[in-house]
Amino acid sequence: MNILETERLLLRHFVREDLPELYALYSDPVVRRFFPEGTLSLDETGEELEWFLGGHPRHPELGLWATIYKPTAQFIGRCGLLPWTIDGVFEVEIAYMLAQAWWGQGLATEAALGIREYAYETLNLSRLICLIDAGNQASIRVATKIGMQFEKTGFDDKGPYVLYSVQRPTVK
Ligand SMILES: CC(C)(COP(=O)(O)OP(=O)(O)OC[C@H]1O[C@@H](n2cnc3c(N)ncnc32)[C@H](O)[C@@H]1OP(=O)(O)O)[C@@H](O)C(=O)NCCC(=O)NCCS
């Protein structure tokens, strides 16, 4: 199922045929540098793919989605919306991860902007966050480019993070 489109990108639910490309992404130590669990094995990647096939099992409107470069129909990464409970509060995070070959072309920013609009307009969410390793400058830059601001630092089972957030503007 297709979720959303931007000028260059299509975001859709995973299909089982995405496994080789998703594994190539998740087994790259540079891509996974800021993820405490590190690279994933083929089995672990397969488990995650299955988990997200129809959207997040507990929140099917959210999830990680295959990110396709429309001009060539290539799988270039996975982006999406993830549910968390932080300090007892339900939060929705914009997530983005692209294969290295596609970095530096504004594609993560384009995906994140598309996801932000989808979250506001289709899902009617008014607040979005990003949980980022403090050293992940590229991710912080993407977050700020889509209007997020630093809110607080925190600590979870994966270690310390910085939390960026953005609020949907109120229509007057
Ligand atoms: C984070 C990530 C998605 C960015 O993808 P991208 O497509 O290269 O991002 P964009 O091209 O949209 O660039 C966004 C901005 O970040 C900047 N940027 C990119 N890499 C950077 C780096 N290493 N250090 C500082 N800024 C950087 C870009 O210059 C750009 O800013 P600008 O427009 O002012 O020049 C990509 O690096 C990635 O997949 N990383 C691994 C997964 C990850 O860490 N995800 C985030 C988890 S919170």
Lowest mean pLDDT among 14-23, 25-34, 69-78, 163-172: 163-172
CB 164 within 8 A of CB 130: yes
Pick the CATH number of 2-167 from 3.60.40.10, 3.40.630.30, 3.40.50.300, 3.40.640.10: 3.40.630.30
Angle between helices 42-52 and 19-26 (to 10 degrees): 120
Q: What is the dihedral of CA 129, 91, 89, 161, to 10 degrees?
A: -40
CB 29 within 8 A of CB 50: no
Give the model's pLDDT for residue 143.
98
Query: Which of 7, 129, 137, 142 for a ligand 1 pocket mutation test, highest count of atoms within 8 Å of Cβ?
Result: 142
State if residue 35 touches ligand 1 by the CB under 6 angstroms criterion. Answer: no
CA 105 to centroid of ligand 1, rounded, Å:
9
Give the model's pLDDT for residue 172.
62
pLDDT one-digit tens code per residue, 104-137:
999 999 999 999 999 999 999 999 999 999 999 9
Q: What is the pTM of this model?
A: 0.96
